Structure formats: C-alpha cells, structure tokens
C-alpha cells in the first residue's frame, strides 16, 4: 500500500472514530435482499416482513413489517434512496402502517431516521406513533408528516439506487424510547391513497443512540464495521 493510500485510510478512520463517538447505531434496516418476483411469487396479503435489522448492536428480536387491511396488498423492493432496494407496498387504506420493533436496552438518547416516498397515487399523509409496553398504549411522536412523491410530474426527485436525495429523509427524537426491552414504532397512514395501485415505500430505517449522523458519516461507519454502544 502506498504512503498516500495509508494516509487516506488513516484520515477515513479518524472520521469514523469521530462519527462513532457521537452516533451509535442500535438497529437499522437497509433492505439488503430483493423480494420474490415473477408470476405467483410476488408477496401479497395483509402482512409482510423483511425480518431483523441488518445493521446495529441490537438486531436480535427486531423486525420491520408492513400491515394492511386489504389482502390484495402487494409487496415489492424497488430502488431505495441511494440504496439498492426499499420496502414498498400498495393497496393502502387509512390506518395501514409500516412497523419497526427493536430493543434499546442499555442505550439512551434514541433518535430515528428514515427515508419514505410514494407514487403519484400513493398515500401522502402519515403519523408516527410509538409504544414501549407491547402496543397497549401509544404516544404520538409526529402528529402529521407528508410523504413526497418520487418520479413523475411535480415530484422533487426520483429514488435511485445510485443517488441519495436528502429531501426524502426525516429524523425525529424518540423521547421515552431509551433503555426499553421493546420499542414499537409505526409509520401509519392517516390519509387515503388515490387508487389501489398507489404505492408507498420506506428505506434506511435507522435507530441511533445519540445524534443522527450525516450520510457521509453513516457510510464511513458502515465501511469500518464499527458499532459503538452508549450505555446508561
């Protein structure tokens, strides 16, 4: 390895250490695997899961799911926001939701970051709610947020596996989520879709202990394979 390469590597690692000191990934889903495709293979029904988080310190027992009232709901994995895949579904009705479950035991100052987009007829009105007692009681974390359209006339951008667009990223502090055996977060539709084929997709659902890092710092943390722990 050349001296220049060594210097660049050392510089990158220094940035990683700096980023990891202020942002520690508890659990995160980047949708690493394509969903089944082809006639008779595409997942449908009222429920679909991508399973446990693929990144973070506490992935065991975690899950990212989509729940719909309509059995005709279809689940696909189109391009993410600067990543290869996302978690997409259609046949949205008011009250349908994406749901993330994870443990935050031993971690404080929990913050959530996620990317979300819709088609031209997909639902745009959502709320973010959280439960720490198994779903008996819910706290509203965001009473209302708007999901932007991806692609087509009037859209601010188009999701691409090669290009990240910060307009589609939302971050929120989850007060009360620290040091919990199970945190449940729902991204729930509060407005109707424009049609059954209208889709909504989610990507890069990341729970951090500490401030959410900038995209460049996230990439460096992933490359280095470093996951810190902020203990109470």
- In total, the chain counts a number of residues equal to 232
Question: What percent of the chain shows pLDDT beyond 70?
Answer: 83
Phi, psi (degrees; rounded to nearest 5) at 220: -65, -40
Identify which of 68, 79, 186, 192 has the alpha carbon closest to the alpha carbon of residue 125. Answer: 192
Would you place residue 16 in the very low, low, confident or very high pLDDT band (cuts 50, 70, 90)? very low
Residue 97 three-state SS: strand
- pTM assigned to the model: 0.86
Which contiguous run of DSSP H or E holds residue 9? helix 3-22
Domains in the chain, CATH or no CATH each? 3-224 (2.60.120.260)
What distance in Å separates the CA atoms of residue 163 and residue 39, rounded to the nearest whole number?
Answer: 30
Burial of 43 (0-12, 13-18, 19+ CB in 10 A): middle
pLDDT at 23: 82
Identify which of 207, 189, 206 has the alpha carbon closest to the alpha carbon of residue 198. Answer: 189
Higher pLDDT, 173 or 1: 173
Condensed to tens digits (0 to 9), the pLDDT of residues 144-156 reads 999 999 999 989 9
**Residue 90 pLDDT > 60, yes or no?**
yes
pLDDT at 128: 98
Condensed to tens digits (0 to 9), the pLDDT of residues 182-201 reads 999 999 999 999 999 999 99
**Residue 75 pLDDT > 60, yes or no?**
yes
Identify which of 74, 131, 77 has the alpha carbon closest to the alpha carbon of residue 99. Answer: 131
**Residue 141 pLDDT > 60, yes or no?**
yes
pLDDT at 154: 86
What mean pLDDT do residues 66-77 have? Answer: 98
Would you place residue 20 in the very low, low, confident or very high pLDDT band (cuts 50, 70, 90)? very low
Condensed to tens digits (0 to 9), the pLDDT of residues 117-139 reads 999 999 999 999 999 999 999 99
């Amino acid at each position: 390895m050349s001296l220049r390469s060594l210097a660049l590597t050392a510089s990158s690692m220094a940035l990683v250490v700096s980023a990891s000191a202020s942002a520690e990934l508890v659990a995160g889903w980047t949708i690493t695997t394509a969903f089944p495709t082809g006639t008779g293979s595409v997942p449908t029904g009222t429920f679909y899961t991508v399973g446990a988080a693929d990144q973070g310190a506490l992935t065991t027992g975690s899950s990212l799911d989509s729940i719909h009232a309509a059995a005709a709901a279809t689940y696909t994995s189109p391009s993410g926001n600067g990543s290869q895949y996302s978690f997409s579904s259609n046949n949205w009705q008011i009250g349908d939701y994406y749901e993330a479950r994870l443990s935050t035991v031993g971690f404080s100052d929990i913050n959530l970051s996620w990317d979300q987009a819709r088609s031209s007829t997909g639902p745009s009105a959502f709320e973010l709610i959280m439960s720490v007692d198994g779903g008996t009681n819910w706290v509203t974390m965001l009473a209302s947020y708007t999901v932007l359209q991806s692609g087509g006339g009037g859209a601010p951008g188009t999701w691409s596996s090669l290009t990240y667009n910060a307009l589609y990223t939302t971050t929120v502090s989850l007060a009360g989520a620290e040091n919990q055996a199970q945190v449940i977060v729902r991204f729930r539709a509060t407005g109707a879709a424009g049609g059954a084929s209208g889709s909504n997709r989610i990507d890069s659902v990341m729970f951090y202990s500490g401030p959410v890092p900038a995209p460049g710092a996230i990439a460096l943390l992933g490359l280095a394979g470093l996951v810190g722990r902020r203990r109470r």
